[in-house]
Amino acid sequence: MNITEKEHAATSTARKKTVRRTRKSASYICEKPVNKGTEVSPLSQQYVLAESCADLMADWVAIYSKASGIISQGRTTKSIYSAYKSITQAAFCASELERVTMIRKGVPASILVEMGRTMDISNDLLWTTLALPRSTVTRKIQKKEFLSAEQSERVLGLERLVGQVEEMVRQSGNTEGFDAGRWVGEWLQRSLPALGGKKPAEFMDTMAGQDLISKLLAQSQSGAYA
């Protein structure tokens, strides 16, 4: 279950075909000046790298909301990629109270399209994994509507999982070129002994299942399932 050097290199090569990554890639939207004398508009696409969840007192709810808006508006590939990085970090770094607020506000259905692209999985597989009704999701994407609170909770849970892997790799000190979304997309389809031979994807349709998978990832980082 550990993220091997081979997997690290594979995700790096695949993602570079679409977007060139650097350590300066966005991790969250910043409403305050990045440097003295540098004004950053709340509605701009300015980003700054957060080294960890606790580095700055960020408003993760606002960050998630603004990044979602960028994706919904269908900006450039690079801005959408950076915005989705903000979303996964916000989903992971947010407190339980902040996540409740995000869920109640609702997740834009259009985010599912970028989620599938980022994880390199088909829409049908993603919607099945999260137990989302195809007809409902398709309609909401077309009409640019929000998912229900129940649906949003499952989507946010998967985003949080990607953010967790990003944080795990960051702590390892070797983030260059690693694509957490693609890695999670592949890992969810693996049969794991720790799950009795089942795939992590089979547990993503409930919050209890998502918590189980999150804990399993944390244990793999500590070496419990190495």
d(CA 155, CA 133): 13
pTM check: above 0.95: no
Distance, CA of 177 to CA of 25 (rounded, Å): 11
Name 47's bridge partners: 29
Within a 10 A sphere around the Cβ of 215, how many other Cβ atoms?
A: 11
24-60 pLDDT, tens digit each: 333 333 333 334 343 333 333 334 445 567 655 678 8
Mean pLDDT of the 165-174 span: 85
**How many CB atoms are located within 10 Å of the residue 220 CB?**
18
3-class secondary-structure state, position 146: strand
φ and ψ of 184, to 5 deg? -65, -40
Please tell me the predicted confidence (pLDDT) of residue 3.
Answer: 61
> Are the C-beta atoms of 145 and 159 separated by less than 8 Å?
no
Please state, as a whole number, how many other Cβ atoms lie within 10 Å of the Cβ of residue 179: 28
Which has more confidence, 165 or 46? 165
Is 209 strand, coil or helix? Answer: helix
- State both tokens at 143: 């009409």
pLDDT of residue 177: 78
Q: Write the pLDDT tens digit of every residue in 191-205.
A: 999 999 999 999 999
Over the stretch 57-70, which tens digit does the pLDDT of each residue have?
Answer: 678 899 899 889 88
**In this structure, what DSSP letter does residue 195 have?**
G
